[in-house]
Structure 1
């Protein structure tokens, strides 16, 4: 693939999300007889697109395990070596490989802005891979084809290296000029140095918080040092580390959930457990998270009477022909439709989920409904507020956990407003008065709880806000066992503490191929190092 073809591929963003589409992105030096020099301003955006696309399958699986979505096998705790193979292979052979090229070439050219961004993206990707799989190849993996059988390293050891890598990225950001040109070469932050510094510090706090159960002194000291130094953090929604999708069907650059669900055949059911959690707690996010294709569904295995028709986790019942009946994804995070239809079984107790202004009607969605301009929220202002609240409650770090709890909910609701009103998504905003009243309602529940209940309130609100990023919800649940999730109806295995490895990796990597079956079996029951 020559550089002009590469540029066209990037500008399309097309293969974007999913279905293994990013496999062909940016084949630098593909022809050994006609080598080319990597062009950093072309390669960097390709890594950001491919990073987002490569996380698709693991995000789907983690979203099912954390009961944000439903698929039959995964919700029954079944996994095998093909489930996440595309994510594993793409992350290593495409995303991380291209980031290493940027680091190497950027260092040679003394383009420290590109080097800094690449190191921070590398740290983020590897941190997620440890969180999902535990022990993974790290040092050997960065050597590319020179090492055919990379050694698996412990997650704990890799985390230690990631803290150092983040510090390297921060140091590189302060070398020379930080002048990404054109700014569109950085699809996430448009070459904003301050934004990447905030991302780096926020990532460090997230990782410190995740090790608090196994390395409490290091976790507390790390967070305290950043807070006492007033290190800049992601502290407004505009500073979120996230990927925004486009609006076009051809080339396809819409949110992956929109692409799979706004068509005749659908990949998922919505999690009945999650919908009922929002409905039962009078949470206004329900109209933004889900769109009902019918106002009433009273036959079949999930009779709701109000159109919030999904599947309970672990339900092994065969799927009838119900693609035109089941609830689907809404405006957040997928860029679908806002649900403005009346809800049948509301009561006088409902304050925030009401039929005021509900003048719409359910419809069977198609790919011309909604814009698809959704978001993959990697590290957000809302997440940071909840992380700092958790740290303050459990480790006594600086900050008022109640105020941080309130700010986290507020940030979550405002992030929905942003997606609902930008890039062609036409949905009403949650009024400021509604946000204020809802936060006050949840704060009253927080105030009435004991210490354990306060932590549960923080983690529950974070879990709801994380809809769209199942990876973080899956990590939080394994760390804290919060919020309480429903037991699967017909589980096939125990809850998986790690994701299954790529079957190709286990079959071809000589360091593990001789014990592949044992290694894969252990994934189900072996905690990640931070899980105590």
Structure 2
């Protein structure tokens, strides 16, 4: 695994080299390209989008003793801040996946192509959920089209389902040419990729729940009897060879400065429920053993006590080298159960919504080796009869489960559903009262270089599916 990770890291470095053209590789070495693509997606999800999602999702806030992420807490990022993640998701991950998927007619590469198609659907969902309308039909054409037109988010979502289906059509777990360690996520287990594809479809259809419930319901109904993830889809990291968790690598690059600290929004909500995970996701103050947060965006206020930081299990504790080992989760088992629970609560998928909801909570505890104790019976068993209240409970518990480990997805689900409903505006906000970030800004590279760029969007402008 270490050797493959080293290959994936060197692959990412190669494709980020401005002296190479990633759109015109001289030879398609599929087994080496796959881990490079997977690592690229995880790099953005685990670093850039983890930071934005976890600050805007109010898990974390800027430390009063440093300054790196003040603009994020102020809701005032710069377009140039998104150049790198946009470039990695398109020019690195998507280009690699495009090369691999084109090899689907070659028997020894079919399972690689299956994974590539599924991950194209995943990558496009991340991109469009972040930015809204994005290049699709004109994208990935290399030098043939350096000024791609933008497609609507609705069209992008249609393509997501198409790509996932194309990948599933190629899956054959009995193939003589299964990927091995080149697949950093499942080690070539195509049954797991089938479950991942179904879970990704479920996530994508539920994203449309408030925009196009008819389509969402029909798409989810077609998933009846299918397999879903029961284990985390993640990439693990090591502490050596430049293969650390990408967020921790960012922290290393900043001289181990502790910029991220615990936000009172999430911490106080978890403490109110006596949630034992709070001491796992955050580092208790050594002198008291208590997790001590600060209000969101209050970095200009002089603290009167030691502040808790995120812990090493979410890669955000600067002075703990164990942060290097935290995995990046693409879809967690907990999320899979919560997605099924919501679909069941809406009457769109079979199954017992309460049981699936409790399985989601249990999966979250299990993934961090925490004993839930009476949490299931004292908290999770309080199941409302009203469907809207059930969905609120499911999304709120999903929010707790994603604390610091799926920050982008948690913030995105808040945009879709309005839950959890206890967010507060950052004290450092430069937006008007009651306004929050609803999207990421288009990158400066698109604004200045793409002659077909459709125009700027404000941070407060909702994406297509966000009607709550």
2: CA distance, partners of 1:60 / 1:327: 17
Determine which of 183, 189, 192 is the counterpart of 1:192. Answer: 189
| Deviating more after overlay: 35-44 vs 160-169 | 35-44
Alignment partners' CA distance in 2, 1:439 and 1:200: 29
Contact 2:263 2:295 in 1 (8 A): yes
Correspondence for 1:40 among 15, 27, 30: 30
Instruction: Please point out which of 363, 373, 376 is paired with 2:325.
Output: 373
Alignment match, 1:445: 382
List runs of 5+ in structure 1 lacking aligned partners: 1-6, 17-21, 297-305, 337-364, 418-429
How far apart, in 1, do the equivalents of 2:10 and 2:43 lie? 8
How much has 1:275 moved relative to structure 2? 1.6
Residue aligning to 1:231: 226
Give runs of aligned pairs for residues 61-460 of structure 1, distance below 5 A: 61-71=52-62, 72-107=70-105, 111-174=109-172, 177=175, 179-181=177-179, 183-227=180-224, 230-234=225-229, 236-237=230-231, 240-248=232-240, 250-254=241-245, 256-257=247-248, 260=251, 264-295=256-287, 308-315=291-298, 317=300, 325-334=306-315, 366-368=319-321, 370=322, 372-417=324-369, 430-431=370-371, 435=372, 437-447=374-384, 450-460=386-396
Number of aligned residue pairs: give it: 452
Aligned match of 1:507: 448
**Counterpart selection for 1:478 from 415, 422, 441:** 415
Q: TM-score, normalised by structure 2?
A: 0.88
Structure 2, unmatched stretches of 5+, are: 63-69
Whole-angstrom distance in 2 between the partners of 1:109 and 1:124: 24
Deviates more, 1:491-500 or 1:184-193: 491-500
Relative contact order: is structure 1 or structure 2 higher (C-alpha 8 Å, sep ≥ 6)? 2
CA distance in 2, matches of 1:496, 1:125: 21
State the Cα distance separating 1:59 from its structure 2 match.
2.2
Cα deviation digits, residues 403-462 of structure 1 (max 9, x gap): 111111011100111xxxxxxxxxxxx34xxx2521111133224x64433222111100
Aligned mates of 2:35, 2:462 — CA distance in 1? 36
Name the residue aligned to 1:489.
427
Output the aligned Cα RMSD.
Answer: 3.0
- Which residue in 2 is equivalent to 1:52? 42
**C-alpha distance 26-331 of structure 1, shift in aligned 2 (>3 A):** closer
- Pairwise CA distance, 1:174: 3.8
Whole-Å separation in 2 of the counterparts to 1:128 and 1:68: 20
Structure 1 outlier segments of 4+, above 6 Å: 26-29, 318-322
CA distance in 1 between counterparts of 2:237 and 2:400 reads 21
Give the structure 1 partner of residue 66 of structure 2.
Answer: none
Aligned partners of 1:8 and 1:375: how far apart in 2? 17
Partners of 1:24 and 1:46 in 2: CA distance:
10
Q: Which moved more, 1:377-386 or 1:485-494?
A: 485-494
Shift of 1:528: 3.0
Query: Does the aligned pair in 2 maintain the 1:23–1:94 contact within 8 Å?
Result: no
Match of 1:424 in 2: none
Residue 177 of structure 1 and its aligned partner are, at CA, apart by: 2.4
Call closer, same or farther: CA 1:67–1:151 in 2, change over 3 Å.
same
Distance 1:231 1:178 in 2: 24
Using the alignment, how far apart are the partners of 2:354 and 2:201 within structure 1?
22
Give the Cα separation in 2 of the matches to 1:12 and 1:367. Answer: 26
* Distance change (3 Å), C-alpha of 1:220 and 1:313: same
Displacement of 1:154: 0.6
Structure of larger gyration radius: 1
1:396 to 1:44, Cα distance in 2 relative to 1, 3 A: closer
Q: For 2:122 and 2:217, how far apart are their aligned partners in 1?
A: 21
